[in-house]
Structures are given as structure tokens and as C-alpha cells.
Amino acid sequence: MTAKLQTTLGSQLRLVTLRLSRRLRQQNVGEVSPSQLSALSTVAQRGELTLGELAAIERIAPPSMTRIAARLEDQGWLERRVDASDRRVARVAVSPAGEALLDENRTRRDAFLSKRLQEFTEEERAVLRRAVPLLERLASEDV
């Protein structure tokens, strides 16, 4: 594959993923920013974390994560808990309201995609099914 073709494919993938990401964000409910939703999703997926661990996973500066967590906590979507083994350490966990917010957002985005995929032929959906592992590999952090 020539360098020009690789650049074109890279540009096309970048643009289409940005557009799809924007369309999915438009399906979000609640006054939650993409950064807040990402942090909340990470805590839901990984379980209780310190703010330092969460900042490292999200690849943002600890002071920024502190602000994000404070907003999530103010909204009632995140809870701070004292670490059982070291009472000086605080951990964050998703609250029941945060779980409900994540579930509702997930449901809306999945419904949006399902509706759009109905417009595709079975052959087109098969192509997309085959592309998913490649896109997952592309998005992996093993770089």
C-alpha cells in the first residue's frame, strides 16, 4: 500500500469516527460532558478507583480529574469512599443514579445505531460485523 493510500485511509477513518462519535454524543441524556461520561464509564467498568488511578487510565492530569470527579459527585453520579486499608485514600464509585445515567445513555446510543443499521442491507451489516475486530484492534492501546 502506498503512503498516499495509507494517508487517505487514515484520514477517512479519522473523519468517519469523529462524525459517528459526534452523532452518538448527540444521543446523550443529562447534563454530562464527554469527559465526565468517559470517567464515569471507566469507574463503572473497572470498579472503585482512586482519582490518581482514574486520571492515569483516562490520560488526563490529576487536577483535571479532580474537577471532573467533583462535578460528577455534585450531580450525584459518583460517590467518594474511604479506602478500607488506608483511611487517608479516597476511592470513587458509581452511584445508583450514575448507573441509571449510564444505562439510559447506552440504551439511547444503541437504539440510534440499531435504527441506522436497519437501513443497511444484510450484506452491508455483514461487512460491518467483520470490520468490528479490526476497528477494536485499531482502537486498542497497544501502541
- Sequential DSSP letters for 62-111: HHHHHHHHHHHHHTTSEEEEE-SS-TT-EEEEE-HHHHHHHHHHHHHHHH
State the CATH number of the domain containing residue 125: 1.10.10.10
Q: Flag whether 76 is in a domain.
A: yes
Average pLDDT over every residue of 135-141: 88
Q: Flag whether 59 is in a domain.
A: yes
> How many domains would you assign to the chain?
1
Q: Flag whether 15 is in a domain.
A: no
Residue type (1 letter), 122:
E
- Of all residues in the chain, what percent carry a pLDDT higher than 70? 94
Torsions phi, psi for 47 (to 5 deg): 90, -170
Q: Residue 74: give the domain boundaries.
A: 28-137
Q: Flag whether 21 is in a domain.
A: no
| SS3 state of residue 56 | helix
What's the whole-model pTM score?
Answer: 0.81
Query: Could you read off the pLDDT of 71-116 as tens digits, one per residue?
Result: 999 999 999 998 888 888 889 999 999 999 999 999 999 999 999 9
Is the alpha carbon torsion for 94, 98, 100, 105 positive or negative? negative
